[in-house]
Amino acid sequence: MKISLKRTLARLAAYFFKGLIVVIPVAVTVYITYSVIVMLDDFVGFKIPGLGVVITITGITLIGFFGTGLITKPLFEIFDTLMDKTPGVKFIYSAVKDMLEAFVGDKKKFTEAVLVEMSTTGIMKIGFITKKDLSAIKTEKDLSQYYAVYFPHSYNFSGNLFLVPKEKVHPVLSKSSEIMKFIVSGGVTELGE
């Protein structure tokens, strides 16, 4: 009787943890989505649920449309130049803009996934080449044989940039988007074929 009670409790615990694996991602996704919708509705000021999301998406799309137009493009370039020359604001604005462009802009940077040998023990790290020509960095060291490689952190939207000797960098043939998900998930996301 005692053995079957232990088995039953162990089985119930296993079911509970499997249930957590199903419930927590769904709950977090629903909570974040709901919070964003409520925040956007409050921001817009209308009391119709979801209208804030529709207005925000429509507004951002219109700004993107007008931002690529022949007439408004010079206005956006003037605004961009103004932001780049404003002390204090320049640093934040250019860093955020460059990071967004690296992910979704015309100048996507995280497209070349690589493995980098970190030591002679065979430890490797997955990253993305962001720049192959480092001649703009003025230093006594010859950087012509180095790449700039960005290593995203797991479970975070940050990372580190290292200058890595070319011979330590090896291409990865998987899709860059799959590799980014793999890194950000801490290596637990399954890679697609």
Q: In what order do the strands lie in the sheet with 159-165?
A: 159-165, 146-152, 124-131, 113-117, 169-171
For residue range 99-120, list pLDDT tens digits in order.
Answer: 666 666 566 667 788 889 887 7
For residue range 140-155, list pLDDT tens digits in order.
Answer: 888 889 888 888 887 7
pLDDT at 36 over 60: yes
For residue range 76-100, list pLDDT tens digits in order.
Answer: 777 778 777 777 777 677 767 766 6
- The pLDDT confidence band at residue 69, using thresholds 50, 70 and 90, is low
